[in-house]
Amino acid sequence: MAKMYVSQGVHHVVATPHFINGTAWANSAKIVMQSVQKMQAVLNKNRINLIIHPGMEIACSFRVPDFFAQGVLLPLGGKGNMFLLEPAFHGTQEELVASVHFMLRNNRVPIIAHPERISYFQSNPDDLLALINQGARIQLTMDSLLAPPQSRRHQLALRLVQTRQVHFLASDAHSSAGREPPGESVWCRLEELIGKECVQRLCVDNPHTLLMF
């Protein structure tokens, strides 16, 4: 995967393993930081010019305040106040709303991951816009923009981009074979769909600002 990113001119990525309380995917901030350091050492040893920044994708829960108090949650980039929140794929999103409001009250910036894939927001986009207006930020996945034009996730993703409601565009890569890092054809299709300037802003400029925070 690292070599695939570098081949496309990508030299910084943020690793966002899931944090889902009560499951095997609930690694603490300490464990994620240690794992990223080990991976970076391997990349450096093999002279692969890629920097891995730590982060996590936090499953929304009414217990998010407890997890912050325990110090187990990690901001994107490993520092600062921006945290990636994953909504539930089903339901009316009360836990997301509660998590967003808690973070905003406590001077943290919630970034909502892939809301275009959530059926509730596909049917109720104004509720998502309300969270954005309150201070939440949005991260889409590239795959949603490249999905069939008639799909609801594509339609919502494109609408959000066209109205400048999106802050980040994620590769959502999981392996080197299946959900792999974007290749040249993906970047070309994205530029054709939303414009080169928009791709630059969502994939380079805004992430750079986040990491420099």
Instruction: Convert the chain into a string of H (helix), E (strand) and C (coil).
Output: CHHHHHHCCCCEEEECCEECCCCCCECCHHHHHHHHHHHHHHHHHCCCCCEEEECCEEECCCCHHHHHHHCCCCCHHHCCCEEEEECCCCCCCHHHHHHHHHHHHCCCEEEEECHHHCHHHHHCHHHHHHHHHHCCEEEEEHHHHCCCCCCHHHHHHHHHHHCCCCCEEECCCCCCCCCCCCCHHHHHHHHHHHCHHHHHHHHHHHHHHHHCC
Q: How confident is the model at residue 2 (pLDDT cuts 50, 70, 90)?
A: confident
pLDDT attached to residue 213? 61
pLDDT attached to residue 21? 80
The first and second tokens of residue 44, run together, are: 């450096």
- The whole-chain average pLDDT of the chain stands at 93
pLDDT (tens digit, 9 = 90+) per residue, 151-207?
Answer: 999 999 999 999 999 999 999 888 777 788 888 999 999 999 999 999 999 999 999
pLDDT attached to residue 204? 94
**Which residues touch 173 (CB under 8 Å, ≥6 apart)?**
1, 5, 179, 180, 181, 182
The Cα 144–Cα 172 span in angstroms is 10
Checking if the pLDDT of 44 tops 90, the result is yes
Taken in order of first residue, the domains within the chain and their CATH numbers are 57-211 (3.20.20.140)
